[in-house]
Amino acid sequence: MKSLLYKYRKFFIVLIVFSVVTISLFYSALKPQKTLPIFNPADVNPELVDSTVQYKSKYHTIADFSFVNQNGDTITQKNYEGKIYVADFFFTTCGSICPKMTTNLEEVQKAVLNNPKVMLLSHTVFPEVDSIPVLKAYAVKHGVVDSKWNLVTGDKKEIYTMARKSYLAVKLGRPDQLYDMVHTENFVLVDTKRRVRGFYDGTKKEDVQRLIEDVNWLLTQE
């Protein structure tokens, strides 16, 4: 028996290697490949979407924008060109979900700090209160890295339009107040082609971890 095994040892080695490779390939073929959806207004809760775009079911992208950040610099889509970024809506005096969201965005900032292809963008929903100095103080308090994370303010109508027509992320506020909006806990993931690729509960650690994982996956696809 030993002599037989010795005689055919090369054959058995090749057979074992072939079997391992075949099983690995078979497993890889059966294993579901990770994907991320591309969101359009028709895919999202209508409460978060302006009625003029709710019908749109394809080719949705983030519109051009122009706001001012915590340093008084004008920030436009060109600052985010070719970037993966996370957007959200907040206000500095919010005492409910905002502190937790900001803390979790700090964690996202840490995770992507050394990757120039990823940025963050936070929009105030109360520009009448959140002036540039107020945003700057908030940024300093929360360790915002200016090159990585912009806190922006601007014309309330423009913020409203971006929130409900582009990012699909805020609810209508008081009907008697023009362009009033209620921000949600959503973090919005945007890819380099300005497409919405995910929504995440910014108050939940597990969702934030999933966001970081999805950012890293997108980086491998770009």
Q: What is the pLDDT of residues 198-215, one digit of tens each?
A: 999 999 999 999 999 999
Asked whether 120 and 85 are in contact (CB, 8 A), the reply is yes
Could you give phi then psi for residue 89, rounded to 5 degrees? -130, 140
Q: Let me know whether 115 and 69 are in one domain.
A: yes
Q: Let me know whether 2 and 104 are in one domain.
A: no
- The whole-angstrom distance between residue 167's C-alpha and the CA centroid of its chain comes to 10
pTM, 2 dp: 0.84
Indicate the range of 9-23, 33-47, 116-130, 158-172 predicted with least confidence: 9-23
The per-residue pLDDT for range 85-101, each reduced to its tens digit, is 999 999 999 988 999 99
Model pLDDT, residue 181: 72
Q: Let me know whether 24 and 103 are in one domain.
A: no
- In a 10 Å sphere around its CB, with 0-12 CB exposed, 13-18 middle and 19+ buried, how is residue 108 labelled? buried
Say how many domains are in the chain. 2
**CATH code at position 213:** 3.40.30.10
Q: Let me know whether 3 and 61 are in one domain.
A: no
* pLDDT above 90: residue 30: no
Q: Let me know whether 179 and 102 are in one domain.
A: yes
The boundaries of the domain holding residue 12 are: 1-33
Rg for the chain (alpha carbons), in Å? 24
